């Protein structure tokens, strides 16, 4: 073990800006690619005193043999062996379940979209009978807008159930959810670091569900244009976002909400422990959040050294 920091990652290009920032600051780190990794559960070795997990829940879109659940076992092992793991196994457990996210948010007394959680195809229509169309059917483990389908009427949903033309989730859990009419057609993504507000952006696309704001997402072929604008949410919504990430234990990550145009309620609907930050941060924010993340990592490394 020679590095102060290890970074467990999956996406091939999302973390180039972070690696570049670490290189500029001359911080020794070991990048660990999840896809070709293996470990010995009887070994007490750790890759570094501090491990930062950058495991993407959308990894199943890129690899059929994705490493989401493998990463849970690996990070738990490293933590047991003495590493300080940032965004570790408890965070992945929430990040990989939209149902758990909504339960946690509602448990904090914050509004969410009306939702029913099911695990069998035959239960979808019974759940829909308790709700009002239009509805979304969502995969419990998603990412990059994957596994979300809109149904405008019960007839559309009945046909999809009958023909078995439905979204799927790698854990077999689905969410039937109210299609909230978002004010201005956009959502707000609040990014946090160390449990505290970092910045927020207003994100909108042309009717799509993939609102990933990172540079690698923006440049993806065939992806709809995404508008991003720096905003400052009201203090009570900043405080709500901080409560959410602290309850989860997220070291770096964000939460998303939209303003329900029907009644003006801010409805929180997603917790994202993979903050790859906004594309063109100097243009959008006027500063680079990767530098703040490196500042934070330096502090954590110093604490780990004792």
Same domain, 49 and 135: no
Q: How much of the chain exceeds pLDDT 90, in percent?
A: 77
Is residue 197 located within the same domain as residue 266? yes
- Evaluate whether residue 108 is within a structural domain: no
Q: Where does residue 286 fall: left (phi above 0), alpha (psi -120 to 50 degrees), or beta otherwise?
A: left
Mean pLDDT along residues 198-226:
63
234 and 280 in a common domain: yes
Question: Judging by DSSP bridges, how do beta strands 115-118 and 174-178 pair with one another?
Answer: antiparallel
3-state secondary structure of 193: strand
Q: Where are the beta strands (DSSP E) in the chain?
A: 5-9, 29-33, 50-54, 84-86, 115-118, 135-139, 148-151, 174-178, 187-193, 196-205, 226-231, 252-259, 266-272
Q: What CA–CA distance (Å, rounded) separates 54 from 78?
A: 15
Model confidence pLDDT, tens digit, residues 167-182: 999 999 999 999 999 9
* Structural domain includes residue 39: yes
The answer to whether residues 22 and 90 belong to one domain is yes
Picking from 143, 178, 213, the residue at the C-terminal end of a domain is: 178
* pLDDT (0 to 100) of residue 275: 77
Give the CATH number for residue 13: 3.40.50.20
Angle at 18 between CA 17 and CA 22, to 5 degrees: 120
* Tens-digit pLDDT profile for residues 265-306: 999 999 999 878 888 899 999 999 999 999 999 999 999 987
Residues 123 and 205 in one domain: no
Co-location of 172 and 185 in the same domain: no
Inform me whether the pLDDT recorded for 219 exceeds 50: no
Domain assignment of residue 100, yes or no: no
Structural domain of residue 129, as residue ranges?
115-178
Q: What is the pTM of this model?
A: 0.91
The overall average pLDDT reported for the chain is: 91
241 with 255: CB under 8 angstroms? Answer: yes
Q: Residue 65: what pLDDT?
A: 79
What local confidence, expressed as pLDDT, does residue 147 receive? 78
3-state secondary structure of 100: helix
Q: What's the average model confidence in pLDDT over 73-95?
A: 97
Domain boundary among 124, 158, 178: 178
> Per the domain annotation, does 99 fall within a domain?
no
CATH number at residue 214: 3.30.470.20
More confident residue, 35 or 126: 126
For residues 5 and 30, is the Cβ–Cβ distance under 8 A? yes
pLDDT over 70 at 109, yes or no: yes
Q: Are 152 and 234 found together in one domain?
A: no
Residue 207 lies in a domain: yes
Domain assignment present for residue 66? The answer is yes
Place of tokens 């502090």: 299
103 in any annotated domain: no
Please give the Cα distance from 218 to 304 (Å, whole number).
Answer: 36
Which residue has better confidence, 23 or 63? 23
Q: How many domains is the chain built from? A: 3
The CA distance from 229 to 201, in Å, is: 5
Query: 218 pLDDT exceeds 60?
Result: no
């Amino acid at each position: 073990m020679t590095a102060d920091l290890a970074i467990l990652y999956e996406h091939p290009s999302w973390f180039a800006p972070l690696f570049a920032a670490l290189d500029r600051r001359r911080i020794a780190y070991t990048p660990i690619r999840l896809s070709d990794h293996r470990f010995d559960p009887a070994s007490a070795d750790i890759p570094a005193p501090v491990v930062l997990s950058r495991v993407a829940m959308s990894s199943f879109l890129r690899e059929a043999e994705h490493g989401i659940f493998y990463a849970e076992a690996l990070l738990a092992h490293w933590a047991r062996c003495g590493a300080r793991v940032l965004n570790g196994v408890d965070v992945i457990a929430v990040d990989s379940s939209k149902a758990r996210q909504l339960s946690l948010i509602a448990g904090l007394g914050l509004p969410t979209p009306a939702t029913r959680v099911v695990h069998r195809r035959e239960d979808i229509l019974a759940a829909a009978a308790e709700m009002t169309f239009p509805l979304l059917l969502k995969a419990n483990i998603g990412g990059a807008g994957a596994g979300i389908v809109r149904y405008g009427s019960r007839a559309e949903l009945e046909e999809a159930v009958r023909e078995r033309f439905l979204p799927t989730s790698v854990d077999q859990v689905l969410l039937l959810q109210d299609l909230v009419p978002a004010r201005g057609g956009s959502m707000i993504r609040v990014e946090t670091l160390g449990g505290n507000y970092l910045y927020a952006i207003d994100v909108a696309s042309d009717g799509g569900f993939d609102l990933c704001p990172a540079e690698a997402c923006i440049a993806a072929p065939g992806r709809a244009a995404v508008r991003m604008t720096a905003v400052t949410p009201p203090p009570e919504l900043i405080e709500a976002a901080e409560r959410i990430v602290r309850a989860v234990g997220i070291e770096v990550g964000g939460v998303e909400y939209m303003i329900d145009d029907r009644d003006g309620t801010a409805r929180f609907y997603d917790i994202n422990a993979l903050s790859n930050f906004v594309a063109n941060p100097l243009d959008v924010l006027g500063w680079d959040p990767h530098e703040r993340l490196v500042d934070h990592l330096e502090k954590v490394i110093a604490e780990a050294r004792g």
